[in-house]
Amino acid sequence: MSALLKPLLDAPPPDSHWAASAVAGPETGPLDGSVRVDVAVVGAGITGLSTAIHLAEQGVCVAVLEAREPGFGGSGRNNGQIIPTLSRLDPANLTAAYGEAKGSALARMVGGSAALVFDLIERYQMRCDGVQKGWIQPAHRPGRMAAAEQRVAQWRALGAEVALLDAAQTERALGTRFWHGAMVAPTGGHVNPLSLAREMARAALGLGVAIHSDTPVVSIARAGTGWTLTTPRGGVTADRVVVATNAYTDDLWPGLRRSVVPVLNFQMVTEPLPAALRASVLPSDMACSDTRGDLHFFRWTADNRLVSGCTLVRSADAERRARERTRERIRRVFPQIGNPAIARSWSGHLAMTADFRPHFHELAPGVTGAVGYNGRGMALGTAVGRELARHATGTGAPELALPFTPVKPLPFHDLVTRFSRLYMLHLRRLDRRD
């Protein structure tokens, strides 16, 4: 592997519950030789694969080039929550940032993103343990209910199907008195994320897309009116290129890696829990992530395990401390579980941005990219992929839901990355306020 690629791409895939339980990935192999396509996609996560599917549905010739294997990045190791909102930003934040028309278009895209995921699952019969029973964001302080009310009003004004639950309704949905009310998005839900990535790859292959695994792209260079992508054993010439590498972005495109901060997040599953607990904990089977900055998140698996996790401030002895912190959290939120046995834990990197917005770029004429989903890329990346596909087939930037902005590398990026976890202390402080 080229020295250009940074260590995140060198690490072995995580020994996750998803890896142990996902459907097998389709047969793919490295690119050997030279090919020509209409569109080359770099990265076989949810964003790249959605781009490829939406392009191939229109008869476009596509190659996806993946350094490792489909779902190797965030897409295969996350909590699997399908969430039709952004992290920490509401529609009003988007219109304030991008103007009424673009901000509303982006918000509508986000609001419809979970439905899009489940539509794709249905259309291609993807075997990914998809459960569309809603996503719930419970308020961790009574004072946060005012914000939840405003959030619900904003999403409703855009036509999104969301609801507000009071404390009693929230308790019935979640099986705990830990929270004070909630916003619910019924189009949300949860999946086995690695299965979803692999099934998206299978769907793309079925549409004629070429997917090359173990094929890191080491350079993208202009070639006439198009682009040439160089890989260790071959090359691709394409009219258009989509860079969909998010937190696992390397130095392939100048400045892109330094425009996001990769933040390590731990995930874990309990041993299977008895049926009585399954009936009393999260009885609604919704995907749940609360209003904290130090997010408390929970969901069931198909085989009765609770999936949760946390982000740590200190890196010493991290895996053990993450397990302890998460067990303690489960005990506090769902006391009926008692002391849960953790069967497996793993980790992955989120791409955070300084303004909490996802960043969409026209990197050069014919080259686009999307990074910085701030931990909400499963539904968002799917919708972004559809938009990037529209752009690659000639829809102009003004017609897209994506506001393209220039790449802005963060000053002192290495330092910021190294100390990014300290930001969690700030978030925890904010969590103690209304």
Ligand X SMILES: Cc1cc2nc3c(=O)[nH]c(=O)nc-3n(C[C@H](O)[C@H](O)[C@H](O)COP(=O)(O)OP(=O)(O)OC[C@H]3O[C@@H](n4cnc5c(N)ncnc54)[C@H](O)[C@@H]3O)c2cc1C
> In the complex, which residues of this chain contact ligand X (CB under 6 A)?
9, 42-48, 65-68, 72-75, 77-81, 83, 216-217, 244-250, 252, 265, 267, 348-350, 373, 375-379, 381
Residue 276 to residue 281: CA distance in whole angstroms: 9
Residue-wise over 87-107: b if at least 16 C-beta within 10 A, else e?
A: bebbbebbbeebeeebbbbbb
Residue 117's contacts (CB-CB under 8 Å, 6 or more residues apart) are 82, 191, 196, 378, 379, 382
Residue closer to ligand X, measured from CB, 265 or 326: 265
Report the nearest approach of ligand X to the CB of residue 68 (Å): 5
Least Å distance, CB 46 to ligand X, is 4
**Neighbour-count burial for 136-152, b at 16+ CB within 10 Å, e otherwise:** bbbbbeeebbeebeebb
Distance of closest approach, residue 82 Cβ to ligand X, in angstroms: 7
Neighbours of 432 (CB within 10 A): 9
**9 or 205: CB nearest ligand X:** 9
Smallest gap from Cβ 99 to ligand X, in A, equals 25
Q: What is the smallest separation between the CB atom of 276 and ligand X, expressed in angstroms?
A: 26
Whichever of 134 and 375 has its CB closer to ligand X, that residue is: 375
Instruction: Give 16 or 145: the residue with its C-beta nearer to ligand X.
Output: 16
Q: Which is nearer to ligand X, 169 or 230 (CB)?
A: 230
> Would you state the structure tokens that stand for residue 396, as one six-digit string?
């102009």
Nearer to ligand X, 77 or 390 (CB): 77
Which is nearer to ligand X, 250 or 290 (by Cβ)?
250
